[in-house]
Structure 1
Amino acid sequence: MTAPLPLPDRDELVAELARLREQGLEAVARLSLPALDQAAQLLGTSVGGEAPQEAVERMLQAALDRFEGGEFQDAAEYTFGLAKGLKHAPATDRRQRAARCMHVSPERFRKSYEKRILQQTAEGVLAACREVMARPVATAGVDEPQPAVSPPRGRVRRFGWWVAAGIVIAIALATVLLMPSEAEQLEARYDGKDPLLMTDDACGLVSSSQPAHPTRPLLTGVDGQVVGSVEVRTWPGCDAVWGRVLWNDNPDTLLQIPAEWTLHVVTHRPATETVVAFSEPSGPAPVEWAYGPVLATVRGCVYVEAYFTHGSQETPHARTACVAP
């Protein structure tokens, strides 16, 4: 009997899916994809006489079908070239089509949704592998178990009652001692998260967010001129906020970050001394509005600041009010 194949490594799957997205499905035969090949063998999609590309296509499509439809699955199918007419399309065309599905620019899609697609596809492949590995394996030639000799019933009942009572008490104590507080649960749910990737959370859709405070402090650029403003945003009924930087107070305006300069959007919760940040370095193309990570507000107010840096040089910090909606 051969030893069962182990579960593929998640990070290796994500890395191979990224290469596959870049090179396209036609490159399956010439790429080294050991984790995907291992998954295909576990799932039985890699069969004798079948082209590697067809095996990988079937495995990816099954993983994407776990998304249960919608714009996110459409974007994922465009990303990998599984949508009709895109199998031979270059990576840039596939990314543009996928970005349109999510109503964002290709650059914004690359930095946010594309990463989530790679991660969720890997999770879908792994989930299918775990289901296969969990199936019972038939055995032959195993002796039937022999009945055990039982002690007197009365003694068993009394002993069993005390054991059961002890277990219940132990579980109750462990639950009380180990159960995280509401604040800890919310912070684990929100702190440091990317708001563009929280598509499975009711308090995470960017399109449903709203300003958490009416004032937006002005952001000074590297030449001393005002280039935008900083706002702190939240979701109705949610104890969490995030910040974004608008150029000329317009989400559709683009800004070219000067060469060798980096924009920082930092989120602070003073009560717990928690600080999380995202950075937007200069690049060849202008960028849309920039944004920072999420923090929960259940244990204190949160504020956002933004500024540019270049080595030891630093522009003035634009800081919002500290809010707890």
Structure 2
Amino acid sequence: MTIYRRLGRSGLHLFPIGLGSMQFGWTADEQTSQDIMDAYYEAGGNFIDTADIYTTWTDGNPGGISEEMIGRWMKARGNRDDIVVATKVRGAMGERGSQGRKSVHQREGLSRRWIIKACEDSLRRLQVDHIDLYQAHAIDSQTPIEETLAAFTELVQRGYVRYIGCSNYSAWRLMHALWVSDRQGLESFVSIQPEYSLLSPTRANFERELQRVAVEFGLGIVPWSPLGGGMLTGKYKRGQPLPESVRADENAARRFSDKNFDIIEMLETVAGRHNAKPAQVALAWMLAQPAMTSPIIGANSVAQLQELLGTLQLQLSAQDLEDITKVSDWERARTELEY
């Protein structure tokens, strides 16, 4: 039986693996996306994460395509009340042209004007009357955090949003936001969505600082790219060329190092002990980390999704966790530091 995890101190309880939707309308067409959501829901999944800008980097996509697909799916299935809908605001909306993005004047950021307009647009695209988790996609250094949090608070008061979270914030930015919320009586972030995996370049900073903030102040963690851009699936091999894939490009090659391949080979060793897959082992390791709520995965097919959901039947031993942690240690003495 799957145990749903409480998101920090909020009233939201999430399936232990979240479904990301960045690929909807990009590497997965509408029918495939609908099939993936059906399979996720049938497995007990209830946490679908999106963003208004998905996927503006593709030709002819002004943003909002992923939200629209999710909205059509929920309306057709009549399952809105079963789904925790999470979306984000911050990025620039509008199509990219040969000279860059078109018509983006004041169509981005975390100002009061844009947050409220973007939320209303997301509600329309999702065909819902409220968003369960509305997240700041990244920091906006041009807007005071007081204005951003006041706008989020207004959305909660209007009933448009239930809880707020943030993504890609540093520890000091998050602490500043929590302090402002407490000092001014504003809505407070209940979650953080960082990039986090065994391979993520910011892993040391996350574990040393951001994770500690989450534990201390009761925030849930819903990381993106928990499989290191697909590298932790084991599809990339030491000394072998890149496989053919939409996302298997120079960005994946940047992760190629002896240390990272050592990590992958350890995942394969542990997977062999359990008749599992390396990706399942990587996700199971992550689910054992402090304050972890629901890593967000992406899938381009039902088969890929179902394989990753198999993680929930995997029980790693203390030795498994120790072996993985040891080989992936981020080059400092693993002693508890006090700040």
**Larger RCO (CA within 8 A; separation ≥ 6):** 2
Task: Please report the TM-score for the alignment, with normalisation by the length of structure 2.
Answer: 0.22
Task: Please report the TM-score for the alignment, with normalisation by the length of structure 1.
Answer: 0.23
